[in-house]
């Protein structure tokens, strides 16, 4: 899940890289967006304090949390253990 606000440049900046990574690793990564302005209750439940915030889920549990604007290479490094 990738929480975002439609108004932030960092959220818009990482979207193409994140979707490209998901496309390159079909079946290993699904991307879901949460608009924090529209769903503040979910933002609180997922402990989102700043955006972009990324959460990796396995078996319905958060197994990794990271965030901030980053390059495709940096995103791939953060996600590498889940893309094997």
Q: Which of 9-13, 68-72, 75-79 bottoms out in mean pLDDT, i.e. has the lowest?
A: 9-13
What superfamily would CATH give domain 2-82?
Glutaredoxin (3.40.30.10)
* pTM beyond 0.75, yes or no: yes
Kindly list the domain boundaries of the chain, sorted by start residue.
Answer: 2-82
> Has residue 1 got a pLDDT over 70?
no
Residues 6+ apart with CB under 8 A from 67: 50, 51, 52, 53, 54
Query: In this predicted structure, what is the pLDDT of residue 54?
Result: 94
> Has residue 6 got a pLDDT over 80?
no
Three-state secondary-structure class, residue 30: coil
Three-state secondary-structure class, residue 2: strand
Read off the pLDDT of each residue in 53-73 and give the average, rounded to a whole number: 93
The pLDDT confidence band at residue 9, using thresholds 50, 70 and 90, is confident
Whether the Cβ atoms of residue 27 and residue 58 lie closer than 8 Å to each other: no
Residues 6+ apart with CB under 8 A from 9: 69
């Amino acid at each position: 899940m990738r929480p975002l606000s439609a108004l932030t440049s960092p959220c818009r900046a990482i979207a193409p890289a994140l979707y490209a990574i998901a496309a390159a690793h079909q079946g290993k990564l699904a991307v879901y967006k949460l608009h924090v302005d529209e769903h503040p209750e979910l933002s609180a439940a997922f402990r989102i304090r700043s955006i972009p915030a990324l959460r990796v889920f396995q078996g319905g549990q958060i197994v990794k949390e990271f965030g901030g604007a980053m390059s495709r290479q940096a995103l791939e490094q953060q996600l590498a253990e889940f893309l094997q």
